[in-house]
Amino acid sequence: MMEKYQGWKEGLVSLAEKLSDLTEKYRENGAGDVGAAASWTSDIREILRQFREETLKVAVVGTIKSGKSTLVNAWLGADLLKRGAGVVTSIVTRVRRGEKLSAKVRFKDWDEINADIEGSLTLFPASGWRRVDAGFDIRRDRDREDLAAALKTLGTDQLITEDARNIHSVYLSSYLEGYGAVRSFITSDLPEAVFEGEGFSDYQDFVADEVRAAYVRDILITVDDDRMPDGIELADCQGSDAPNPLHIAQVQDYLFQAHMVLYVISSRTGLRQADLRFLNMIRKMGILDSVIFVLNTDFSEHGDEGDIRRVREKVESELGLLCPGVRVHVFSALYRLFKDMEGKEGFPEKEKLRLAQWEADASMTEQSRVSFDDFEKSMNRRMTADRARLLLMNQAARLRQILSSMANHCRVDRDILGGDQEQARRILEEVRGRHKRIAQVQGLIRNTLDGSGAILEKELKTRIDRFFDGASGEVLPDILAFIRDYRPEMDAYAPVLESSGLSVALYHAFQDFRQALDTFMTDRVNPEIVRFIRELEARMQEHYAEVARPYASMVDEVLEEYCSGLEGMGVRLDLPPSAGNSGLMVEPRIHAERMGLHLPPAHAVTRYTAKVKAESHVLFGFHRFKRWISGFFSKDREEHTENLRGRDGLKVLAGSLKKICRETEKQLLEHMVDYRENLKFQYVLALSTSLASALQADLEARFSTCVTEMDTLDQTAARKGASQQERLEKVAFILAESDVLDRDFARIQEDMGRS
């Protein structure tokens, strides 16, 4: 099946290039519409770009240690992706077909790095640690020295929360420790490093080492191997149970772009609570139908086939509550990978022993092999069908429309040039009479689309404002309720309060609150926003399809009259396919990708901490902080506030946290207004306007298929005489070649339609 897709694509690319050559011959002939030829050439060039660049994206997700990287490696037949990378990394590793094996590591820019650090420094407890008041910049020696000294003064016990490393202390220490190793790479607007040849595997240093990984945005691996199909991107995503909600947000960003999702479940653990939570999030995003499930079996954990079967039945039963009738592919990705690596240089001896041990149970390994082959065939069929639908069918239709337009222009040129003066005059008169009606319809279409676009824009604005309304909207009331109802167990902070004082305890309490709120935002808010955006996209498509339907019929009617009139003059034109059968050329999301329109990143909803930090400097600067909390007590105890312990200290801590929560609520409301307006104008309304323009261009392109501008026809008639025969011969050649191309286009379209 993958070979079929590649054959269709290569065939269409070849036909597009031949069509481009024909349009150039048409332009050089001097007998036709040079403006139309330039437009055709531009459209063909854009379609060829889409053939090269447009990609079916497949996200590979699952919990940490479920075998996501191993599955991708097994698919590729080589151990290319780092297996068992640390849980603190937030890297999405993308794999595509390329000219050679290479890894491109893209780094964050300095602004993003400094913003990460600033966020982790909100209410930082070490007093007076900065020697300058400006924003933190890790490139400044003084800032790095000050932060390193401050972290040392805090001590290890102050950077531990519930026996685990505090996420924000990980950020701070990782950025400090990794600076020397990566600073030479971050030297431009698009900082990146490429690893290839013998140095290819060095890219894994940026995955396995958390201090370097903190600086990495993502990684792109290109593979020169037939097992990695052209036009496919596999994305190995961070674990769905990652402790940092910002890492989950990064996965959500890719899921919004993805056309298919592979969800990997480990047979060691079965379906865990983290799996169900993440799958429920996918369901809320409206993409559960695109998920394919894999139960990745660990032969070392199972005694026989029966044990694996029991795990599979349990997983299928539990998944059935979310997606009834689900099918789960069951195999060992690691076994498949080892079989591909067996006999190759560098295959470790200990892995050979594991492989031999597994193969002692021939029944279990054979079942895994058959299941993996079935999985591969199933994926190939689905990817072939989806890629043809998303990436080829519309382009094939557009190319054939360009071909039809050029052929019709040639027919008119031929009959004007080849006939006598009287015939040319009568053709021109007939066309002139029809042009008035065509101009009226074109004007009506433009005015209607402008008016309907304004109506839809008003509706979209209203729906967006209602969705983000603080009192009755679909996300903000829940966010505000979460903040107001946040009640941590204050006794949990007693140890850090006793050992380190109130400011350190407050830092821990705020970071725990922030972690809980960010998790709520990524688990509950982001999926609702994605679902809402998909509803708006569907509404746009429905709206413009409804608007277009009567005018598409009108276009068909006018073109039939036009062609019928010219046929009576001896000029036969080919009508384009009915406009009423096509609707919009592409789905809104595909159109958005082509136009470079993107949603605000998923982590944008959690950027409220920048405003909280600014306010906290005013509310909780060290001296103001001491004066503020002293208000809970008499003046003679003011100097002891930082050293408060026991119940009094916890009481002040609870009051301080409550005030921070109120400030967060205020700043988050302002932040969500900014987010709403960004979403509204940079994505939703921009997409609506672009879809309207695309629809208008589509309908007008149907006119241009048959209708030649009057000034062009006049120029053609004026050229009768010198070199007339030579031009006629070239027109005849173009028409003959057009017939051949049309048959080839039709054959590919029919083949894609049957598959």
The per-residue pLDDT for 491 is 92
Average pLDDT over residues 251-271: 92
pLDDT at 417: 67
The amino acid that residue 577 corresponds to is P
Query: What does the CA dihedral 734, 736, 741, 747 come to, rounded to 10 degrees?
Result: 160
* 622: exposed, middle or buried (Cβ count in 10 Å: 0-12, 13-18, 19+): middle
The DSSP secondary structure of 453-510, one letter per residue, reads: HHHHHHHHHHHHHHHT-TTTSSSHHHHHHHHHT----GGGGHHHHHHH-HHHHHHHHH
C-alpha 367, offset from chain centre: 35
Residues β-bridged to residue 233: 57
Distance CA 249, CA 736 (A): 55
Q: Which residue has the higher pLDDT, 714 or 61?
A: 61
- Does residue 401 contact residue 576 with C-beta atoms inside 8 Å? yes
**Average pLDDT along the chain:** 83
Closest CA to 280 of 524, 530, 599: 524
Q: What pLDDT does 250 receive?
A: 87
Distance CA 45, CA 93 (A): 30
pLDDT tier, 450 (very low <50, low <70, confident <90, very high otherwise): confident
DSSP codes, 22-35: HHHHHHHHSSS-HH
State residue 752's pLDDT score: 84
- Residues 37 and 26 sit within 8 Å (Cβ to Cβ): yes
Degrees (nearest 5) of the Cα angle 202, 242, 273?
140
Q: Looking at beta carbons, which pairs linking 626-630 to residues 24 or more positions away fall under 8 Å?
A: 628/656, 629/502, 629/655, 629/656
Threshold 0.95, pTM exceeds: no
- Higher confidence at residue 612 or residue 677? 677
Tokens standing for residue 622: 């060290």
Give 49's contacts (C-beta < 8 A, 6+ positions apart).
none
CA dist 476 and 469 (Å) reads 7
pLDDT tens for each residue of 129-145 = 666 667 889 999 999 99
Binning pLDDT at 50, 70 and 90, where does residue 159 land? low
pLDDT tens by residue, 310-327 = 999 999 999 998 888 889
Instruction: Note the pLDDT of residue 333.
Output: 95
Q: Residues 658-678: what's their mean pLDDT? A: 91
Instruction: State pLDDT tens for residues 208-237.
Output: 788 888 899 899 999 998 888 888 899 999
CA–CA separation, 170 vs 192, rounded Å? 23
**3-state secondary structure (DSSP) of residue 234:** strand
Give the span between the Cα atoms of 503 and 123, in whole angstroms.
Answer: 8
507-536 burial, b at 16+ Cβ within 10 Å, e below that, comes to bbbbbbbbbebbbbbbbbbbbbbbebbbeb
SS (HEC) of 130-153:
CCCCCCCCCCCHHHHHHHHHHHHH
How far is Cα 424 from Cα 418, in angstroms, rounded to an integer? 9
Residue 740 reports pLDDT greater than 90: yes
Nearest of 222, 293, 282 to residue 254 by alpha carbon: 282
Q: What tokens does 160 get?
A: 């531990």
Lowest mean pLDDT among 122-136, 139-153, 241-255, 367-381: 122-136
Task: Indicate whether 470 pLDDT > 70.
Answer: yes
> pLDDT tens for residues 722-738?
567 777 888 899 999 99
Average pLDDT score over residue span 322-343:
91
In this predicted structure, the answer to whether residue 74 has a pLDDT above a threshold of 60 is yes
pLDDT mean over 175-179: 93
Burial class (CB in 10 A: 0-12, 13-18, 19+), 669: middle
pLDDT at 6: 81
pLDDT of residue 4: 80
393-421: pLDDT as tens digits: 888 888 988 898 888 888 877 777 666 66
For residue 155, name the pLDDT band (cuts at 50, 70, 90): low
